[in-house]
Amino acid sequence: TVKWGLIGASTIARQFMINAIRAQPNGEIAAVMSSSPERATAYARENGIALAVSTLDALLGSDIDAVYISTTNELHLEQALAAITAGKHVLCEKPLALTSADARTMVAAAKAAGIVLGTNHHLRNAGSHRAMRESIAAGRIGKPIAARAFHSVYLPENLQGWRITRPEAGGGVVLDITVHDADTLRFVLGDDPLDVSAFTQAAGMAGGGLEDGAMCIWRFKSGVIAQSHEGFTTKFAGTGFEVHGSEGSLIAKDVMTQKPIGAVLLRTAKGEEELSFDREDLYVRSLRQFHEAIGGEGQPSATGEDGVWSLTSAEAALQSARSGKSVAIDPNL
């Protein structure tokens, strides 16, 4: 059995991760920690978790093997380092930290301690994105030339909190969604970004100097150029992901989402083909890979290093938007 402690009485844990852990044949949630004792108790009761605690020491001192960190972003670093010191495996939400330097510190600490560290980039676990990655690797679109990620959504009212009001908590759409797009582009293309040029906006939802919309242009090592659009304020945009190559195009719709939905079309000289793909829950698959990694088999679907890459990319996008210049992406790994 892998006994999990939840760090953070969060929405994402309630909506997806508690189920994902319990869906594993050997997954158990032993404890939850909230900074508020009342919230911890209520959350434990609502979700059938035996132990509710309100300090990190109490959580790390309980009988657990791994922690899932889904607090606000400024807390991830300290909580992950404490868990690593206590010998617990860590699945951490994105962004791993507020800066790529801090994320690198987490990766180095986990490595030194022999701890499994994963970043919860769920989109790598989507059958749609895996089907696109496999098609590209198999040469089905020839040489990849350009990619486009459409990931501008409407932030649900129940989540219109720290993301749009608290810069010190790591709010803003770039740390929230651009990190996912940067990771998904790397994953699907099987390529690393070299630099980024970005514009951001405050289109009426975010305050405190935070951005609620971003458009980024990325250049990859292979020469592929990509664009990504992230937003909190577009109610009717829909999502998508496209890769265009010398011999074909992959056109995916409704795939930048937490659910195993959407469609992927391959268009070539032979005509159009809808790719069939696995519809497994993204988070269940992520957890399975994480459990396997704890058991010494393979790696989490997104590693700590992948989390450093995505945060370095997001950081570069923010720097570009501020400076008006394109910014190099060097994860320094």
Assess 99 for contact with ligand NDP (CB under 6 A).
Answer: no
For 26, 54, 69, the CA distances from 126, given in Å and listed in that order, are: 22, 34, 21
Residue closer to ligand NDP (CB basis): 8 or 144: 8
Assess 10 for contact with ligand NDP (CB under 6 A).
Answer: yes
For 84, 97, 121, 208, 232, the CA distances from 92, given in Å and listed in that order, are: 12, 9, 9, 26, 23
Region near ligand NDP per CB under 6 A, out of 32-40, 60-68, 244-252, 301-309: 32-40
Mark 41-80 with x for binding to ligand NDP (rule: CB under 6 A) and - for no binding: -----------------------------xxxx-------
3-state SS class at 112: helix
Assess 39 for contact with ligand NDP (CB under 6 A).
Answer: yes
Assess 285 for contact with ligand NDP (CB under 6 A).
Answer: no
Among the listed residues 24, 99, 161, 167, the single contact to ligand NDP using CB under 6 A: 161
CB of 298 to ligand NDP, least distance (A): 20
Among the listed residues 104, 122, 130, 288, the single contact to ligand NDP using CB under 6 A: 122
Assess 124 for contact with ligand NDP (CB under 6 A).
Answer: no
Cβ–Cβ contacts within 10 Å for residue 82, how many?
Answer: 17
Residues in region 171-200 near ligand NDP by CB under 6 A: 176
Q: At what angle do helices 76-85 and 100-113 cross, to 10 degrees?
A: 10
Among the listed residues 50, 137, 159, 225, the single contact to ligand NDP using CB under 6 A: 159
Residue closer to ligand NDP (CB basis): 120 or 320: 120
Assess 312 for contact with ligand NDP (CB under 6 A).
Answer: no
Would you list the DSSP string of 252-317? EES-SSSSS--EEEEEETTEEEEEP-----HHHHHHHHHHHHHTTSS--SSBHHHHHHHHHHHHHH
For ligand NDP, how many residues bind (rule: CB under 6 A)?
Answer: 21
Region near ligand NDP per CB under 6 A, out of 3-11, 82-90, 272-280, 306-314: 3-11
CA-closest candidate to residue 129, choices 191, 193, 189, 188: 188
For 23, 111, 234, the CA distances from 7, given in Å and listed in that order, are: 19, 21, 31
Tokens matching residue 331: 């994860």
Assess 239 for contact with ligand NDP (CB under 6 A).
Answer: no
Tokens matching residue 333: 């790994």
Assess 9 for contact with ligand NDP (CB under 6 A).
Answer: yes
DSSP secondary structure code for residue 76 in this structure = H
CA–CA dist 83, 260 (Å, integer): 31
- Given the rule CB under 6 A, which residues bind ligand NDP? 8-12, 34-36, 39, 70-73, 93-94, 120, 122, 159, 161, 176, 258
